[in-house]
Amino acid sequence: MDLSSVKAIPGKGENVIIGHSHFIKTVEDIYEAIIETNPAMKFGVAFCEASGDCLIRFDGNTDEMVKKAVGLAKEIGAGHSFVIFIKDGYPVNVLNRLKTVSEVVNIHAATANPIEIIIAQSSQGRGILGVIDGESPKGVETEEKARERKTFLRAIGYKR
């Protein structure tokens, strides 16, 4: 078995969601979940089929986000994995809804940070072992940093 990693660096104002699913209708159901949650969000979704034709199925509402999702799905190449690129919204806006999609098995990452997707390759195919999201901690939050966090969350409307 060989291990490798695939890097993903979301662009300015973008986020990426990496997950696993189990059925061909994943693309359509994820599309509906995002549109029903936030119709203004720009996104693209790509799903790596793991049997039959073994195609990368895709959909979305902007060519740019679809192209990014398909490109990263090609690089990952792991059966039943999916990639979503979003813009004009945040993963927190859609994650709970995505988790209710009956085909979604797991979500590995949802972030604006650069990530590395850890891939295992065997004679059967490829699989995602996990994701490295951003950087390692550099310390423990101080009272001043806690105040900054709380102020920021209130400034962007996520807390009162």
| pLDDT for the residue numbered 55 | 96
**pLDDT of 160 higher than 90:** no
Helix, strand, coil fractions of the chain, as percent rounded to 5: 30, 35, 35
Residue written as tokens 């999702």?
Answer: 69
- In CATH, which superfamily holds the domain spanning 2-155? Ta1353-like (3.40.1520.10)
pLDDT at 159: 85
Please report the pLDDT score of residue 156 as a whole number. Answer: 84
38-70 in b/e form (b: 16+ CB < 10 A) is beebbbbbbbbbbeeeeebbbbbbbeebbebbb
pTM of structure: 0.92
Per-residue pLDDT of 2-48, as tens digits, reads: 999 999 999 999 999 999 999 889 999 999 999 999 999 999 999 99
Nearest to 19 by CA among 97, 99, 93: 99
* 51-69 mean pLDDT: 97
- Highest-confidence range of 23-27, 110-114, 135-139, by mean pLDDT? 110-114
pLDDT value at position 34? 97
pLDDT-based confidence at residue 86 (cuts at 50, 70, 90) = very high
Confidence bin at 131 (pLDDT 50/70/90): very high
Domain locations in the chain as residue ranges: 2-155
Instruction: Give the single-character DSSP code of 23.
Output: S
